[in-house]
């Protein structure tokens, strides 16, 4: 099975304790919904967790990029998210669909009531401090357990899932490249060949068999 291409780590691997590696596991839409459903709709942390899950899933941002966002980097009027310092310190603007807006807007409204300091990250602690990727990983693992999801759920998995869905929807590779922030088409092509073998799936799906 193909191994993960995870920016910041050795190509084709997800870091794990004691040198273990994990295969790519794509989440289904129902699994995403089940995960989000474990987030409280009344507590500030639950509203924040749900918004972060939705943003990662619907934009394909790296967790470092998502946690570095400021509220000003969102433009939900046009559906744009500006990443000021992506991999290689490159700036890019990605798209986000309207289905994600309600969850993000709910966090923006709750965030205002927390009165975070000026310049605080979009996804901040309840005291206005920065969040850490390790904390997000622990939270996702806990939520996945509650949701009964047997797959390994981690921040980069949403990026895999986003890329997979775009490929299976027939989105042109150059668009996927820009959305993911890859420096070259070759990188995107290699990335997708591991997680979204669209041609293979569609070809096998056209075969006929009557049991």
Is 85 part of the annotated catalytic residue set?
A: no
Catalytic residue among 62, 103, 110, 160: 62
53/210 Cα distance (integer angstroms): 41
129, 41, 98, 67: CA torsion to nearest 10: 20
Choose, from 49, 110, 160, 182, the residue flagged as catalytic: 182
87 noted as active-site residue: yes
- Residue 207: active-site member: no
Selected catalytic residue, list 50, 58, 156, 194: 156
Q: What is the 3-state secondary structure (H, E, C) of 54-70?
A: HHHHHHCCCHHHHHCCC
User: Annotated catalytic, 72?
Assistant: no
Catalytic residue among 87, 137, 152, 178: 87
Backbone angles phi, psi at 23, to 5 degrees: -80, 160
* Residue 142: active-site member: no
Q: For this structure, is 182 an active site residue?
A: yes
CB 136 within 8 A of CB 155: yes
Q: Which residue in 159, 160, 162, 194 is the catalytic one?
A: 159
Active site residues: 62, 87, 156, 159, 182, 191
């Amino acid at each position: 099975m193909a191994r993960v291409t995870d920016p910041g780590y050795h190509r084709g691997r997800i870091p794990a304790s004691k040198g273990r590696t994990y295969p790519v596991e794509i989440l289904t839409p129902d699994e995403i919904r089940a995960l989000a459903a474990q987030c409280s709709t009344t507590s500030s942390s639950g509203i924040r967790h749900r918004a972060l899950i939705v943003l990662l899933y619907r934009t394909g941002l790296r967790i470092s990029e998502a946690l570095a966002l400021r509220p000003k980097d969102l433009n939900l009027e046009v559906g744009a998210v500006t990443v000021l310092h992506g991999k290689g310190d490159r700036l890019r603007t990605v798209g986000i669909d309207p289905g994600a807006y309600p969850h993000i807007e709910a966090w923006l409204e709750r965030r205002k009531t927390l009165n975070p300091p000026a310049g605080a990250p979009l996804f901040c602690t309840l005291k206005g401090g920065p969040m850490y990727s390790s904390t997000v990983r622990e939270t996702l693992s806990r939520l996945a357990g509650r949701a009964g999801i047997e797959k390994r759920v981690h921040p980069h998995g949403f990026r895999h899932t986003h890329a997979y869905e775009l490929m299976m929807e027939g989105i042109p590779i150059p668009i996927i490249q820009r959305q993911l922030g890859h420096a070259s088409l070759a990188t995107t092509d290699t990335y997708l060949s591991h997680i979204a073998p669209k041609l293979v799936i569609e070809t096998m799906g056209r075969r006929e068999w009557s049991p």
